[in-house]
Structure 1
Amino acid sequence: MTLLPLQDAQSRLLDLVAPLPASEKPIFECLGHYLAADILARRSQPAIDISAMDGFAIQGSGPWEVVGASRAGAPFAGTLARGEAIRISTGAALPKGPDRILIKEDAELNGENLSVLRDAPAQGRHVRVAGFDFAAGDVVLRAGVAITPAAIALAAMAGHSRLPVRRPPVIAILESGNELSSDPESCGPHQIPSSNGLMLAALFAQYPCEIRRIGPVRDDLGSLSQALDEADGCDLLVTSGGASVGDYDLIGPALQAWGATTEFWRVAIKPGKPLMAATRDECVIIGLPGNPVSSFVTAFLFALPVIRAMLGSASPLPRAVMLETASGLPATGSRREFIRARLNADRVEPLTEQDSSALLSLSQADGLIERPEGCEELEAGARVPFYPVKNGAIA
């Protein structure tokens, strides 16, 4: 069977996804969501001319008589005549008349008589004019952008207390394998703790979503059928294990019996070749490999983009940064490779252990180096795409 190239597989998977319905939520509840519509400013910022520095608002060439003060939230009520000045603090409104700010460090004050120690400020100096940041009616945030702490502050400054966001997806995570123990503290020598479900749940939880963990489930059709019934009504079903070609790899047949349609199977990547994508009604299904590193890498490349697309992201695929390698890299074969690596100053250092079952090196990695299929050997200092993944810091 021909392996599907990575970009083709990602494109085909995202074609199956539609953003979920939108509604407005209180602004602080929107962190981690993506905007469902453009946000237009309901006010200008600043709404009036304000001072950018502590000092004196002045009119004319001086010297000046200080006739009052303007503080943030308590503006000077009058109008300045030529030869007059007021004390002013950062963020305070300028009254009518002055067109520049004389900062305190450049001012000499004798009683209420003000003069300049050095050159007088140029017209407009240290003044934040009305609307310099944005004006009422401007688009301040585009649909599909991530709602970050800075975006929340911007939306509030633009006059919004609620924002339109997509409904959080319901995600079912089904972990299968006869060897899996649900209790890490009581695990026989013939067993391994069921860590993939925990890892995937933690990975997905950085986004607004409802997570259902199912399993671990035994590798037989009866058990898998019962487990799949628990996933009814979910928007995304992610399975871990049972997606390869072994005698007990039964996720494919179980999904088919459940009424799912396979969209593609097997992708030209390493690790993670036996990835599967399917659909059942409105539910998108991703079958991940059981080896933990393979499961993590394919979740990063496929499941997280689906979650972001359901939440309305305008650019759901992960983004790489270009960095130099701290050591050489061997030539690649017929599959695109994702290599665990650590940051070493401003370079990336591939970790020695790259086995797809090795969680220790995954936990030590700051990210993944991407190596295209059929790529020649690289020397240290070559620039390579690097995906930061440490501590869930994912694009």
Structure 2
Amino acid sequence: ELSVFRIPPICLVSTGDELVNIEQTPAPHQIRSSNAVALRAILAKWAMEIDHQHILDDEKKVRRTITKLLSKYQIIIFMGGSSMGKFDFIPGILRKSGVTEHFYKIKQRPGKPMWFGSKGNQFVFALPGNPVSCFLCAERYVDAWLRHSLGIKQRVNKAILRRSFDFKPALSYFLQVKLTNENGCLFADPIPGSGSGDHANLANTDAFMELPEGKDSYREGEQFHVFPFKPIL
């Protein structure tokens, strides 16, 4: 006999009046809802049941939806609505709904306005809405949390920075890189992007390299942690 258990269903919740389905052609004031597609791809390896809902920027509707979600799902991931904008209601409503806040905002770029909380055996993530920020936080934190919850050891990967990079703010920086395996050594080439909204740039990269806070210059030849989202050869 073999004991097994089922990962509970998870609900992805996109937020914002400006989002349209990826099949639609967006108007000038709209963008395609790509985050749910990206997160489904990240979570696919866990073979879990994944539902998706979308909520508009209406505080009363957001409150009602969160109440329904908390009555049904053990794991909920919001995409957007976690920053400090006019329509970013999610963290406040979650707190008022009895979800204990464990942390809000991380000293990093991209992906600073991330929220995480729990209520009993329920767990709630609120990720930034910008596509690169959302993707990074899902890869770096949601996936790591799932591994830890399942008792799977997280593999540690390091790579050698191929080209020097400067970053002045007192934050950790997750640099998009292309990885190359040369005689057993992993090298990382920075891939310039156009900010946290440049989702297309991820197609040309393999990983995020974590450049730790505490310095503002990262030199060629230094070694740092990398978080691959594509297979390492």
Q: Same fold (TM over 0.5)?
A: yes
The amino acid of 1:311's aligned partner reads: L
* Equivalence for 1:335: 171
* Equivalence for 1:362: 202
CA contact (8 A) 1:179 1:190 kept: yes
CA contact (8 A) 2:177 2:189 kept: yes
From 52, 56, 62, the equivalent of 1:218 is 56
The amino acid of 1:364's aligned partner reads: N
Structure 1: runs of 5+ lacking an equivalent: 1-161
The amino acid of 1:350's aligned partner reads: P
* Equivalence for 1:240: 79
The amino acid of 2:208's aligned partner reads: L
Instruction: Specify the SS of the correspondent of 1:322.
Output: strand
Instruction: Specify the SS of the correspondent of 1:163.
Output: coil
* Equivalence for 1:124: none
CA contact (8 A) 1:336 1:373 kept: yes
> CA 1:256–1:377 in 2, change beyond 3 Å: closer, same or farther?
closer
Equivalent residue runs for 1:232-311 within 5 Å: 232-311=71-150
1:382 shift after superposition: 2.3
CA contact (8 A) 2:211 2:218 kept: no
1:345 shift after superposition: 5.3
* Equivalence for 1:322: 158
From 13, 27, 33, the equivalent of 1:194 is 33
CA contact (8 A) 1:214 1:227 kept: no
Instruction: Describe the superposition over 1:270-321 as per-residue Cα deviations: whole angstroms up to 9, x where unpaired.
Output: 11111111112321111100001110111112111222233332x2x4x342
> CA 1:332–1:373 in 2, change beyond 3 Å: closer, same or farther?
farther
CA contact (8 A) 2:56 2:62 kept: yes
Which protein is bigger by CA-based radius of gyration? 1
1:194 shift after superposition: 0.8
The amino acid of 2:30's aligned partner reads: Q
Q: TM-score, normalised by structure 2?
A: 0.88
Between 241-250 and 174-183, the greater mean CA deviation after superposition: 174-183
Q: TM-score, normalised by structure 1?
A: 0.54
> CA 1:366–1:214 in 2, change beyond 3 Å: closer, same or farther?
same
* Equivalence for 1:72: none
Instruction: Specify the SS of the correspondent of 1:299.
Output: helix
Quote the Cα distance in structure 2 between the aligned partners of 1:264 and 1:235. Answer: 19
CA contact (8 A) 1:326 1:344 kept: no
Quote the Cα distance in structure 1 between the aligned partners of 2:151 and 2:6. Answer: 10
Instruction: Specify the SS of the correspondent of 2:166.
Output: coil
Instruction: Describe the superposition over 1:87-142 as per-residue Cα deviations: whole angstroms up to 9, x where unpaired.
Output: xxxxxxxxxxxxxxxxxxxxxxxxxxxxxxxxxxxxxxxxxxxxxxxxxxxxxxxx
1:170 shift after superposition: 1.6
CA contact (8 A) 1:329 1:379 kept: yes
Instruction: Specify the SS of the correspondent of 1:363.
Output: helix
CA contact (8 A) 2:167 2:173 kept: no
Taking every aligned residue pair, what percent have the same amino acid on both sides? 28
> CA 1:184–1:380 in 2, change beyond 3 Å: closer, same or farther?
same
Quote the Cα distance in structure 1 between the aligned partners of 2:76 and 2:137. Answer: 14
Query: How many matched pairs?
Result: 227
CA contact (8 A) 2:81 2:88 kept: yes
CA contact (8 A) 2:104 2:114 kept: yes
* Equivalence for 1:375: 215
Structure 2: runs of 5+ lacking an equivalent: none
CA RMSD of aligned residues (A): 2.0
1:231 shift after superposition: 5.0
CA contact (8 A) 1:279 1:285 kept: yes
CA contact (8 A) 1:166 1:312 kept: no
1:252 shift after superposition: 1.5
Quote the Cα distance in structure 2 between the aligned partners of 1:308 and 1:276. Answer: 19
* Equivalence for 1:204: 43
Quote the Cα distance in structure 2 between the aligned partners of 1:191 and 1:328. Answer: 37
1:232 shift after superposition: 2.7
Quote the Cα distance in structure 1 between the aligned partners of 2:70 and 2:27. Answer: 29
Quote the Cα distance in structure 1 between the aligned partners of 2:27 and 2:91. Answer: 28
The amino acid of 2:59's aligned partner reads: L
1:332 shift after superposition: 4.7
Instruction: Specify the SS of the correspondent of 2:192.
Output: coil
Structure with bigger helix share is 2
1:166 shift after superposition: 2.9
Quote the Cα distance in structure 1 between the aligned partners of 2:40 and 2:156. Answer: 23
CA contact (8 A) 2:12 2:77 kept: yes
Quote the Cα distance in structure 1 between the aligned partners of 2:198 and 2:229. Answer: 16
